[in-house]
Chain A
């Protein structure tokens, strides 16, 4: 096992290209997951049992099956029914849907944590359902959930290497192609690991700060 620094500097630009795509996929996936999660959480509270039941089964199913197979499903099955997606878009949809089912639980807990008195006060002020949500419940429910949401976004970041399986040229895929070209696996693979470790250690610091900033519930 010999480590070659020259080779490291030679492949660094390619890997940086990959890191950019990895981060882009994480950000887009996080945004989608935040929206999908809210949709699932609200859908499960629907008064229509058909809607709430089918949404919770759908979420349960997505949470119980591997992201990799879901990515394959989106990437290979959807084109057969005429929906042709670029790999990155398919990957972002997969990440967003999968983690949306996790963030839905965070939203649910956050919404349940808003005291009943707030609902009653909204009703007493004669607010409509939509206004109750947008002006009373969500503004109080969302800040305490931010650390938990960030936790899932970090988890999502660590799952982005799966996108390499559907030909997205992110960090892992760049490292693999470099490794296969030069037939040197030690440096690219170790660097990928190091990149992930550094970024997740930094994000742990960010998470601590978020917990400090938003974690406490002030009432």
Chain B
């Protein structure tokens, strides 16, 4: 007789625990959304910066080359972490207040953009000399040649490394949790501090990050195959 109430109490307890876990899982999934959002926005900024700086590095004009080189060296030389803290804590003193999300996108985009700019430069330089000579022979302007002849070939060379850069960016987004943006890593810490459980939040977050990285590399491979279509027998 005495066993019955105890089981029901246990049932109730395990039920509330279950709803709690699903609530915590919801928190982590919310964090995943923020991480995805950051990764996408950061990637767009990084892509823009990569092309600007990468093509700046191969410009005819010394000033453009110097600015592009300074940008690349600066952002590759200091760590993403320092840049993020600088954007979030120091820029307000210069009168430019950024929300954590803005600071995160800015730092991630500029940092990864600097790495990707070198990829753009390398890919442009990897296109053979005869292609440039062909552009001249066809009387294409510098920009026309770049747009229609060089970049379409260089893009295919860049793509795999861009995929790696995107995964690096995804991993770097975890740093924004330290400026109180509620991404995956931040939510894992919230769950840890509320439940005292450590294995569940961190392991699930690690698995989600890994799944996202797998999705990125799969997406880049698919894109690569699609772009390489019809290029069989061409140099690449």
Contact B85 A189 (CB under 8 A): yes
Contact B185 A189, beta carbon cutoff 8 Å: no
Give A157's nearest chain B residue, CB to CB. Answer: B79
Instruction: Give the residue name and chain of the B residue nearest to A74 (CB).
Output: B202
Tell me if B86 and A65 are in contact (CB < 8 A): no
Chain B contacts for A65, CB-based, 8 A: 171, 206, 209-210, 213
The docked-state distance in angstroms from the alpha carbon of A77 to that of B189 is: 12
Residue pairs across A and B with CB atoms within 8 Å: the count is: 104
> A193, B78: Cβ atoms under 8 Å?
yes
Q: Shortest distance in angstroms between A152's beta carbon and chain B's nearest beta carbon?
A: 13
Nearest B residue (CB) for A171: B82
Q: Chain B, 101-135, contact with A by CB distance < 8 Å: what is the 0/1 string?
A: 00000000000000000000000000000000000
Residue A186, interface by CB 8 Å: yes
- Give the number of residues in B that approach A within 8 Å (Cβ atoms): 41
Which of chain B's residues have a CB closer than 8 A to the CB of A66?
Answer: 170-175, 185, 209
Contact indicator per residue, chain A 172-198, by CB within 8 Å of chain B (1) or not (0):
100010010000011001101100110
A133 contacts across to B, CB distance below 8 A: none
Query: Does A68 lie within 8 Å of B213, measured CB to CB?
Result: no
> Among A70, A80, A161, A204, which residue has its beta carbon within 8 angstroms of that of B82?
A161
> Nearest Cβ in chain A — how far from B195, in angstroms?
12
**B150 within 8 Å of A (CB atoms):** no
Let me know if A72 and B189 touch, CB within 8 A.
Answer: yes
Distance between A190 CB and nearest chain B CB, rounded to angstroms: 7
A158 within 8 A of B: yes
Q: By DSSP majority rule, is chain B's interface helix, strand, loop, or mixed?
A: helix
Looking across the interface, which residue of chain B has its beta carbon closest to that of A190? Answer: B90
A167 nearest CB across to chain B (Å): 13
**Chain A residues near B154 (CB-CB < 8 A):** none
Contacting pair A162 B81 (CB below 8 A): yes
Query: Do B209 and A77 have beta carbons less than 8 Å apart?
Result: no
If over half of A's interface residues share one DSSP class (helix, strand or loop), that class is named, otherwise mixed; here it is helix
CB nearest neighbor in A for B85? A189
Min CB distance, B214 to chain A, in Å?
A: 7
Q: Which of A65, A73, A159, A196 is most buried by chain B, counting CB atoms within 10 A of its CB?
A: A65
Asked whether A197 lies within 8 Å of B94 as measured between CB atoms, the reply is no
B177 within 8 A of A: yes
Is the beta-carbon distance between A185 and B209 smaller than 8 angstroms?
Answer: no
Distance from B21 Cβ to chain A, minimum over Cβ atoms (Å): 17
**Contacting pair A68 B199 (CB below 8 A):** no
A214 at the interface (CB under 8 A from B): no
Q: Are A197 and B185 in contact (CB under 8 A)?
A: no
B205 within 8 A of A: yes
Contacts of B184 in A (CB 8 A): 69
Q: Are A192 and B213 in contact (CB under 8 A)?
A: no
- 18 other contacts beyond A1-B94, A61-B210, A162-B175, with CB at 8 A cut-off? A61-B206, A64-B210, A66-B170, A66-B209, A67-B171, A68-B175, A68-B177, A68-B178, A73-B206, A77-B199, A80-B198, A172-B85, A189-B90, A190-B86, A193-B83, A196-B78, A196-B82, A204-B77
7 CB < 8 A contacts A-B: A65-B206, A68-B177, A72-B185, A176-B85, A186-B90, A197-B77, A201-B73
For the complex of A and B, list the 9 residue pairs with the smallest distance between their C-beta atoms, beginning with the closest: A64-B213, A66-B174, A158-B79, A161-B81, A185-B89, A66-B171, A200-B77, A68-B174, A76-B198
